[in-house]
Amino acid sequence: MSVNRTLTIGHLISGSFGLVFMLVNGGWLPPAGRLLLNIVGVAAFVFVFLAFVVSTRRYGNSRPGEGFTGRYWLIVGAEAVLLFGGLAVIRSVQPAAALGWIALIVGLHFIPMAWLWPTGRAELLAIGITMTVLGVIGLGLAFVTGDGPLVALVSGVGSGVILLGWPAIVAASSLSRRR
């Protein structure tokens, strides 16, 4: 597994969405479990943020604006249309499936992102495939069991761990390297 030596804006975006996935979808846990999940999530994000600051000072930011082209916005626009259009339909059929749909679409959007950012291609594909699988499992669970908390665990918290976990790994790698 290769890791870039610097953290990028993309890592902060991924980490922030991962934190939100964890905070929002851990509500079904008992209070102590939810508190622990929230503390771990916030601590991981703070670590990623501070490592981003240190990494930027050490190595400079990787080419600002790289990948934030028209193609990037086209992918994000398609993601938004699929996300919100699909949610409108899915919520009317099986409300517990909404979170599985969100994880599926967010996961799928990483695949063309890997095409835009070849330096992180393997990592983006791994995140995308993993989240896509978590989304499909969540959709299946929702339609078979209707169990919203189970879908929240798999597609919500699971996706949050993936989205925040990868930047935390990159942060640890970035900070452990010498100039």
Whether residue 83 is contained in a domain is answered as yes
How many structural domains compose the chain?
1
pLDDT of 40-87, one tens digit each? 999 999 999 999 888 888 776 554 455 578 888 999 999 999 999 999
Whether residue 103 is contained in a domain is answered as yes
pLDDT at res. 131? 97
Whether residue 1 is contained in a domain is answered as no
The answer to whether 153 and 100 are in contact (CB under 8 A) is no
The residue among 107 and 173 whose pLDDT is bigger is 107
List C-alpha distances in Å: 83 to 38, 142, 176.
26, 17, 38
Look-up: residue for tokens 């749909």? 101
List C-alpha distances in Å: 18 to 11, 28, 168.
10, 17, 11
Whether residue 126 is contained in a domain is answered as yes
pLDDT of 1-36, one tens digit each? 344 455 688 889 999 999 999 999 999 899 999 999
The amino acid at 75: I
Determine the structural domain holding residue 113 and report its residue range. 9-176
Whether residue 26 is contained in a domain is answered as yes
Whether residue 141 is contained in a domain is answered as yes
Whether residue 3 is contained in a domain is answered as no
pLDDT of 114-163, one tens digit each? 888 877 888 899 999 999 999 999 999 999 999 999 999 999 999 999 99
For residue 126, what are its two tokens?
């791994």
pLDDT at res. 178? 57
The answer to whether 159 and 134 are in contact (CB under 8 A) is yes
Q: Which DSSP symbol is given to 80?
A: H
Whether residue 136 is contained in a domain is answered as yes
* Nearest C-alpha neighbor of 171 from the set 73, 56, 66: 56
pLDDT at res. 57? 81
